[in-house]
Amino acid sequence: MSGSADQARRLALVGLSRIVDPGHRGVHQAVQDHGAFEVWEALRRGAVCEPVSPELRAGASLRAEGYDPAADLARLSRFGARLVCPGDVEWPAARLFWPQKPRLEAPPLALYVHGAHRLDEVVERSVAVVGARAATAYGAYVAGDLSTALSDRGVAVISGGAYGIDAAAHRGALASTRTPTIAVLACGVDVAYPRGHDRLLRQIASTGLVVSELPPGSSPTRGRFLVRNRLIAALSLGTVVVEAALRSGSLATLERARLLSRHPMVVPGPVTSAMSAGCHAQLRHDPPAVCVTRVEEILDTVGAIGDDAAAALRGPVGVRDGLSDTVRLVLDAVPVRTGIGEASIARAAGVSSLVVQQVLPPLHVHGLVERTQDGWRLTALGAGRPVPKQHQDAGQAPGPAA
């Protein structure tokens, strides 16, 4: 494609993003069939452009009156942002292509990006962390903690720049400083929304990326938030919802992750919390979301096979762990308070006196039993009671000799 033809295509994509809201399947299909420039020329004149509906053509031509896409590109350049289109080196093609599906909006035609990093490189290893705007202290803490840990491990955190969980996720990632974070907006990249996040969004753009499908100056609407959610899900390997009520918009992001064959994950909360009811419902969904409580479980879900596998959680190792059945029988037969003889221990354990004579010395060496004037009894360690720190090292299970 010549330079002039490519520039005409880019201007056409800017024009289409101005006169048609993102995610429209008919417009996306028309661009695939006829080309961006041809569709732009048709829609701005109100001409027939299959499969775009007559209603959308009429609205698009009204929006196009007196509009020059070059003005948007100039405004974008003054702001320090850029247009990223299919075919550009940083266009994440593998993430932003999917066939038309019911209930799923079309892929983006182009993206507006603010920040120095390459979009395709940042999203290569990324996870979306989203949730309730009215987050609890629990939710904000968990979102921030998980996001810091993800960023520390080289995973970019993607969220929507909103109040609540989104903000906690971005701030957690920024606290790490190792990996860029991405804010995906439902407005222009030069529009601070919510207004209270003006400073946060500037910080994200200076160290990470701010991304939108909408041209500069565009305001957010309810519909744009819902369509934006599928872009958050698409750019990431998986989506983690930290807190969500039963009708939370973040559950729409999770559903789009399913439709896009990304990994849906949720963090459980208190069963008494309405802000976690949506997360708990997703655990009963068909198919269910994956329950995650720590960064290792997220990486185990989305990471490379083997490299990011999470080790199984285990409780504290006790002094009786690893003992053979025979040794356990003898140890269980030794009283706590009063010492008894070896014959009495053998009788209570149901083993021979010879076995007791073989087992007691190693148990004594490891501090589990002690000899008294009346015979043998358990130590505090053997009985499972707290012991002074200087004696804790003696609480190892007897070795093979036992």
Cα end-to-end distance, the chain, whole Å: 79
> Domain ends where: 33, 67, 101?
67
CATH number at residue 373: 1.10.10.10
- 22 touches 227 (CB < 8 A): yes
Per the structure, the complete domain to which residue 37 belongs is given by 3-67
The count of domains in the chain is 3
Is the pLDDT score of 307 beyond 70? no
Q: Has residue 292 been placed in a domain?
A: yes
Q: Are 271 and 352 part of one and the same domain?
A: no
Q: Write out pLDDT tens, residues 68-91.
A: 999 999 999 999 999 999 999 999
Q: Are 201 and 118 part of one and the same domain?
A: yes
Q: Are 204 and 256 part of one and the same domain?
A: yes
Q: Are 154 and 222 part of one and the same domain?
A: yes
Average pLDDT for the chain: 91
The residues with which 112 forms a beta bridge, in sequence order, are 83, 212
Q: Are 271 and 341 part of one and the same domain?
A: no
Is the pLDDT score of 316 beyond 70? no
CA distances from 211 to 116, 119, 235, 384 (A): 12, 9, 11, 57
Q: Are 229 and 274 part of one and the same domain?
A: yes
Q: Has residue 80 been placed in a domain?
A: no
Q: What pLDDT is attached to residue 382?
A: 87
Q: Write out pLDDT tens, residues 166-217.
A: 999 999 999 998 999 999 999 999 999 999 999 999 999 999 999 999 999 9
Q: Has residue 286 been placed in a domain?
A: yes
Q: What pLDDT is attached to residue 323?
A: 87
- Reduce the DSSP state of residue 35 to 3 states and report it: coil
CA distances from 71 to 19, 34, 66, 381 (A): 14, 25, 11, 78
Q: Write out pLDDT tens, residues 17-59.
A: 999 999 999 999 999 999 999 999 999 998 999 999 999 999 9
Q: Are 122 and 41 part of one and the same domain?
A: no
Q: Are 282 and 330 part of one and the same domain?
A: no
Q: Has residue 227 been placed in a domain?
A: yes
Q: What pLDDT is attached to residue 389?
A: 57
Is the pLDDT score of 394 beyond 50? no
The residue type of 231 is L
Q: Has residue 72 been placed in a domain?
A: no
Q: Are 166 and 253 part of one and the same domain?
A: yes
Q: Write out pLDDT tens, residues 251-296.
A: 999 999 999 999 999 999 999 999 999 999 999 999 999 999 999 9
Q: What pLDDT is attached to residue 397?
A: 47
Q: Has residue 84 been placed in a domain?
A: no
Q: Which residues contact 225 (CB under 8 A, 6 or more apart)?
A: 160, 186, 249
Is the pLDDT score of 388 beyond 80? no
Q: Has residue 337 been placed in a domain?
A: yes
Q: Are 156 and 277 part of one and the same domain?
A: yes
Q: Are 135 and 267 part of one and the same domain?
A: yes
CATH number at residue 193: 3.40.50.450
Q: Are 159 and 220 part of one and the same domain?
A: yes
